[in-house]
Amino acid sequence: MTTPLVEMRQIDKRFGAVQALRGVDLTLQPGEVLGLVGDNAAGKSTLMKILSGALQPDGGQILFRGEPVRFASPAEARRRGIEMVYQDFALCDNLDVARNVFLGRWPLRAWGIVDRAAMQRAAEAMLRRLRIDIPAVTLRVRALSGGRRQSVAIARALSFDPAVLILDEPTANLSPGATQEVLRVVAGLRAHGVGVIFISHRLQEVFEIGDRVTVLKQGRHVATCRVRDATEEEVLELIVTGGRPGAGAGAPPPAG
Protein backbone atom coordinates (compact mmCIF):
# COMPACT_ATOMS: atom_id res chain seq x y z
CA MET A 1 0.00 0.00 0.00
CA THR A 2 1.19 3.50 -0.76
CA THR A 3 1.73 5.94 2.09
CA PRO A 4 -1.26 8.29 2.33
CA LEU A 5 -0.59 11.86 1.31
CA VAL A 6 -2.39 13.04 4.43
CA GLU A 7 -3.47 11.24 7.56
CA MET A 8 -5.40 13.07 10.27
CA ARG A 9 -5.76 11.00 13.45
CA GLN A 10 -8.09 11.57 16.36
CA ILE A 11 -8.43 15.31 15.80
CA ASP A 12 -10.22 17.26 18.55
CA LYS A 13 -11.25 20.89 18.42
CA ARG A 14 -13.31 22.94 20.83
CA PHE A 15 -14.60 26.51 20.50
CA GLY A 16 -15.67 27.56 23.99
CA ALA A 17 -18.64 25.38 24.84
CA VAL A 18 -18.85 23.88 21.34
CA GLN A 19 -16.98 20.63 20.77
CA ALA A 20 -16.59 21.05 17.00
CA LEU A 21 -14.51 17.88 16.42
CA ARG A 22 -14.18 14.71 18.49
CA GLY A 23 -11.49 12.21 17.58
CA VAL A 24 -11.90 12.62 13.82
CA ASP A 25 -9.82 10.54 11.39
CA LEU A 26 -9.32 11.33 7.72
CA THR A 27 -6.95 10.04 5.06
CA LEU A 28 -6.18 11.32 1.58
CA GLN A 29 -4.36 9.21 -0.98
CA PRO A 30 -2.16 10.75 -3.68
CA GLY A 31 -4.12 11.76 -6.77
CA GLU A 32 -7.56 11.08 -5.33
CA VAL A 33 -10.63 13.25 -4.95
CA LEU A 34 -12.07 12.80 -1.45
CA GLY A 35 -15.57 14.15 -0.80
CA LEU A 36 -16.17 15.51 2.71
CA VAL A 37 -19.86 15.67 3.57
CA GLY A 38 -22.16 16.22 6.53
CA ASP A 39 -24.89 18.50 7.77
CA ASN A 40 -24.35 22.12 8.77
CA ALA A 41 -22.01 22.41 11.77
CA ALA A 42 -20.73 18.83 11.27
CA GLY A 43 -17.18 20.19 11.49
CA LYS A 44 -16.12 19.97 7.84
CA SER A 45 -14.68 23.48 7.52
CA THR A 46 -13.06 23.28 10.95
CA LEU A 47 -11.29 20.01 10.08
CA MET A 48 -9.99 21.47 6.83
CA LYS A 49 -8.91 24.75 8.47
CA ILE A 50 -6.82 22.60 10.81
CA LEU A 51 -5.25 20.79 7.85
CA SER A 52 -4.48 24.09 6.12
CA GLY A 53 -2.95 25.67 9.23
CA ALA A 54 -5.66 28.29 9.79
CA LEU A 55 -6.66 26.64 13.09
CA GLN A 56 -4.70 24.52 15.55
CA PRO A 57 -6.20 21.28 16.90
CA ASP A 58 -6.63 20.67 20.64
CA GLY A 59 -5.64 17.06 20.19
CA GLY A 60 -4.71 14.47 17.60
CA GLN A 61 -2.01 14.14 15.00
CA ILE A 62 -1.44 15.04 11.36
CA LEU A 63 0.90 13.02 9.15
CA PHE A 64 1.97 14.39 5.78
CA ARG A 65 3.51 11.73 3.52
CA GLY A 66 3.87 9.63 6.67
CA GLU A 67 5.70 12.26 8.68
CA PRO A 68 4.17 14.06 11.71
CA VAL A 69 3.60 17.74 11.00
CA ARG A 70 2.26 20.76 12.83
CA PHE A 71 1.15 23.89 11.03
CA ALA A 72 1.17 27.09 13.07
CA SER A 73 -0.13 29.11 10.10
CA PRO A 74 -1.46 28.74 6.55
CA ALA A 75 1.99 29.83 5.34
CA GLU A 76 3.53 26.76 6.99
CA ALA A 77 0.95 24.45 5.43
CA ARG A 78 1.56 26.10 2.07
CA ARG A 79 5.29 25.42 2.35
CA ARG A 80 4.43 21.72 2.67
CA GLY A 81 2.12 21.91 -0.33
CA ILE A 82 -1.32 22.23 1.26
CA GLU A 83 -3.67 24.86 -0.18
CA MET A 84 -7.24 25.69 0.75
CA VAL A 85 -9.84 27.69 -1.15
CA TYR A 86 -12.24 29.03 1.48
CA GLN A 87 -16.02 29.10 1.36
CA ASP A 88 -15.89 32.87 0.85
CA PHE A 89 -12.78 32.83 -1.33
CA ALA A 90 -10.84 36.06 -1.24
CA LEU A 91 -10.38 37.54 -4.68
CA CYS A 92 -9.87 41.24 -5.43
CA ASP A 93 -12.84 42.20 -7.55
CA ASN A 94 -11.32 45.28 -9.07
CA LEU A 95 -8.11 43.56 -10.21
CA ASP A 96 -7.82 41.51 -13.38
CA VAL A 97 -7.61 37.72 -13.59
CA ALA A 98 -3.81 37.55 -13.94
CA ARG A 99 -3.23 39.83 -10.93
CA ASN A 100 -5.61 37.71 -8.84
CA VAL A 101 -3.91 34.44 -9.76
CA PHE A 102 -0.56 35.85 -8.63
CA LEU A 103 -1.83 38.10 -5.83
CA GLY A 104 0.98 38.98 -3.44
CA ARG A 105 3.60 37.55 -5.83
CA TRP A 106 3.52 39.79 -8.87
CA PRO A 107 6.72 39.28 -10.88
CA LEU A 108 8.88 42.39 -10.95
CA ARG A 109 11.18 43.87 -13.55
CA ALA A 110 14.01 46.26 -12.74
CA TRP A 111 13.13 49.21 -10.45
CA GLY A 112 10.27 47.25 -8.94
CA ILE A 113 7.98 47.58 -11.94
CA VAL A 114 5.41 44.78 -12.21
CA ASP A 115 6.19 42.59 -15.19
CA ARG A 116 2.67 42.50 -16.58
CA ALA A 117 3.56 40.54 -19.70
CA ALA A 118 5.25 37.78 -17.69
CA MET A 119 2.35 37.65 -15.26
CA GLN A 120 -0.22 37.44 -18.03
CA ARG A 121 1.70 34.72 -19.84
CA ALA A 122 1.96 32.69 -16.63
CA ALA A 123 -1.73 33.18 -15.85
CA GLU A 124 -2.72 32.16 -19.38
CA ALA A 125 -0.55 29.04 -19.15
CA MET A 126 -2.13 28.13 -15.80
CA LEU A 127 -5.68 28.56 -17.11
CA ARG A 128 -4.86 26.56 -20.24
CA ARG A 129 -3.37 23.76 -18.17
CA LEU A 130 -6.57 23.60 -16.11
CA ARG A 131 -8.72 24.04 -19.21
CA ILE A 132 -10.39 26.99 -17.58
CA ASP A 133 -12.25 28.94 -20.19
CA ILE A 134 -11.84 32.65 -19.53
CA PRO A 135 -11.78 34.99 -22.54
CA ALA A 136 -8.88 37.17 -21.32
CA VAL A 137 -6.68 37.34 -18.23
CA THR A 138 -6.94 41.13 -18.45
CA LEU A 139 -10.65 41.01 -17.51
CA ARG A 140 -11.48 42.25 -14.06
CA VAL A 141 -12.68 39.50 -11.77
CA ARG A 142 -15.76 41.60 -11.00
CA ALA A 143 -16.93 41.08 -14.59
CA LEU A 144 -16.83 37.26 -14.35
CA SER A 145 -19.62 34.80 -13.60
CA GLY A 146 -19.61 32.89 -10.29
CA GLY A 147 -18.23 29.74 -11.89
CA ARG A 148 -15.36 31.58 -13.52
CA ARG A 149 -14.57 33.43 -10.29
CA GLN A 150 -14.41 30.09 -8.51
CA SER A 151 -12.12 28.79 -11.25
CA VAL A 152 -9.83 31.80 -10.78
CA ALA A 153 -9.72 31.07 -7.03
CA ILE A 154 -8.75 27.46 -7.83
CA ALA A 155 -6.12 28.61 -10.34
CA ARG A 156 -4.68 30.92 -7.70
CA ALA A 157 -4.42 28.04 -5.20
CA LEU A 158 -2.82 25.81 -7.84
CA SER A 159 -0.27 28.46 -8.74
CA PHE A 160 1.46 27.46 -5.48
CA ASP A 161 1.84 23.99 -7.01
CA PRO A 162 0.26 22.16 -4.05
CA ALA A 163 0.19 18.43 -3.40
CA VAL A 164 -3.14 18.82 -1.59
CA LEU A 165 -5.95 21.15 -2.61
CA ILE A 166 -8.87 21.69 -0.25
CA LEU A 167 -12.06 23.17 -1.70
CA ASP A 168 -14.75 24.30 0.72
CA GLU A 169 -18.09 24.11 -1.08
CA PRO A 170 -16.74 25.35 -4.40
CA THR A 171 -20.10 24.98 -6.13
CA ALA A 172 -22.33 26.62 -3.52
CA ASN A 173 -24.27 29.47 -5.12
CA LEU A 174 -23.34 28.42 -8.66
CA SER A 175 -25.74 27.80 -11.52
CA PRO A 176 -25.90 24.23 -12.88
CA GLY A 177 -23.77 25.22 -15.88
CA ALA A 178 -21.15 26.93 -13.74
CA THR A 179 -21.15 23.96 -11.37
CA GLN A 180 -20.33 21.59 -14.22
CA GLU A 181 -17.49 23.87 -15.28
CA VAL A 182 -15.97 23.80 -11.80
CA LEU A 183 -16.47 20.02 -11.41
CA ARG A 184 -14.69 19.44 -14.71
CA VAL A 185 -11.72 21.52 -13.50
CA VAL A 186 -11.59 19.63 -10.19
CA ALA A 187 -11.88 16.19 -11.80
CA GLY A 188 -9.05 17.17 -14.16
CA LEU A 189 -6.70 17.78 -11.22
CA ARG A 190 -6.35 14.04 -10.73
CA ALA A 191 -4.34 13.90 -13.93
CA HIS A 192 -1.89 16.35 -12.35
CA GLY A 193 -1.47 14.09 -9.31
CA VAL A 194 -2.99 16.61 -6.91
CA GLY A 195 -4.95 15.15 -3.98
CA VAL A 196 -8.23 17.01 -3.60
CA ILE A 197 -10.54 17.27 -0.59
CA PHE A 198 -13.87 18.54 -1.76
CA ILE A 199 -16.47 19.72 0.77
CA SER A 200 -19.97 19.67 -0.64
CA HIS A 201 -23.59 19.62 0.39
CA ARG A 202 -24.56 18.06 -2.91
CA LEU A 203 -24.01 14.31 -2.89
CA GLN A 204 -24.61 14.12 -6.60
CA GLU A 205 -21.41 16.10 -7.16
CA VAL A 206 -19.41 13.91 -4.81
CA PHE A 207 -20.64 10.86 -6.69
CA GLU A 208 -19.81 12.48 -9.99
CA ILE A 209 -16.15 13.31 -9.32
CA GLY A 210 -15.17 11.68 -6.00
CA ASP A 211 -13.15 8.51 -5.42
CA ARG A 212 -14.05 8.18 -1.74
CA VAL A 213 -16.31 10.06 0.62
CA THR A 214 -15.94 10.81 4.34
CA VAL A 215 -19.06 11.55 6.37
CA LEU A 216 -19.03 13.68 9.54
CA LYS A 217 -21.89 14.30 11.91
CA GLN A 218 -21.82 16.62 14.92
CA GLY A 219 -18.05 16.61 15.04
CA ARG A 220 -17.63 12.85 14.73
CA HIS A 221 -16.34 10.68 11.91
CA VAL A 222 -19.24 8.48 10.81
CA ALA A 223 -17.84 6.57 7.84
CA THR A 224 -15.52 6.64 4.87
CA CYS A 225 -16.40 4.64 1.79
CA ARG A 226 -15.51 4.23 -1.83
CA VAL A 227 -17.95 6.07 -4.03
CA ARG A 228 -18.22 3.17 -6.44
CA ASP A 229 -19.17 0.79 -3.61
CA ALA A 230 -21.97 2.96 -2.21
CA THR A 231 -25.18 4.63 -3.33
CA GLU A 232 -26.23 8.22 -2.76
CA GLU A 233 -29.10 6.94 -0.62
CA GLU A 234 -26.71 5.03 1.64
CA VAL A 235 -24.46 8.05 2.15
CA LEU A 236 -27.47 10.29 2.76
CA GLU A 237 -28.63 7.83 5.41
CA LEU A 238 -25.22 8.07 7.11
CA ILE A 239 -25.36 11.89 7.03
CA VAL A 240 -28.81 11.92 8.60
CA THR A 241 -28.49 9.12 11.16
CA GLY A 242 -24.77 9.27 11.86
CA GLY A 243 -24.76 5.52 11.21
CA ARG A 244 -26.91 4.78 14.26
CA PRO A 245 -29.78 2.54 13.20
CA GLY A 246 -33.17 4.00 13.95
CA ALA A 247 -31.90 7.54 14.43
CA GLY A 248 -33.74 9.87 12.08
CA ALA A 249 -33.47 13.55 11.23
CA GLY A 250 -35.68 14.39 14.21
CA ALA A 251 -33.72 12.28 16.70
CA PRO A 252 -32.10 14.13 19.61
CA PRO A 253 -28.33 14.64 19.41
CA PRO A 254 -26.21 12.06 21.24
CA ALA A 255 -25.63 12.84 24.90
CA GLY A 256 -22.24 14.16 26.04
Ligand X SMILES: Nc1ncnc2c1ncn2[C@@H]1O[C@H](COP(=O)(O)OP(=O)(O)OP(=O)(O)O)[C@@H](O)[C@H]1O
Q: What does 46 bind: Mg ion, ligand X, none (CB cut-off 5 to 8 Å by kind)?
A: ligand X
Count of residues engaged in binding Mg ion, rule: CB under 5 A: 1
Is 20 or 127 the residue whose CB approaches Mg ion more closely?
Answer: 20
Q: Which is nearer to ligand X, 23 or 66 (CB)?
A: 23
52 near Mg ion, judged by CB under 5 A: no
Question: Smallest Cα–Cα separation from 97: which of 81, 73, 121?
Answer: 121
Contacts of 203 (CB under 8 A, 6+ apart): 37, 232, 235, 236
CA dist 123 and 103 (Å) reads: 11
Binding string, 32-51, against Mg ion, x = CB under 5 A? -------------x------
Site mask for ligand X (CB under 6 A), range 9-28, x = bound = ------x--x-x--------
Alpha-helical regions (H) of the chain: 44-51, 74-80, 97-101, 116-129, 146-158, 176-189, 203-209, 232-241
- What residue is closest to Mg ion based on CB? 45
Q: Which is nearer to ligand X, 11 or 20 (CB)?
A: 20
Residue among 246, 243, 232, 193 nearest 35 (CA)? 232
3-state secondary structure of 22: strand
**Residue type at 251?**
A
Burial class (CB in 10 A: 0-12, 13-18, 19+), 80: middle
Binding mask 30-69 for ligand X (x = CB under 6 A): --------x-xxxxxxx-----------------------
> What is the rounded distance in angstroms from the CA atom of residue 224 to the CA atom of residue 35?
9
Residue 45 Cβ vs ligand X, minimum distance, rounded to whole Å: 3
Closer residue to ligand X (CB): 3 or 73: 73
Which does residue 200 touch among ligand X, Mg ion, none (CB within 5 to 8 A, set by kind)?
none
Least Å distance, CB 12 to ligand X, is: 12
Q: Which residues bind ligand X (CB under 6 A)?
A: 15, 18, 20, 38, 40-46
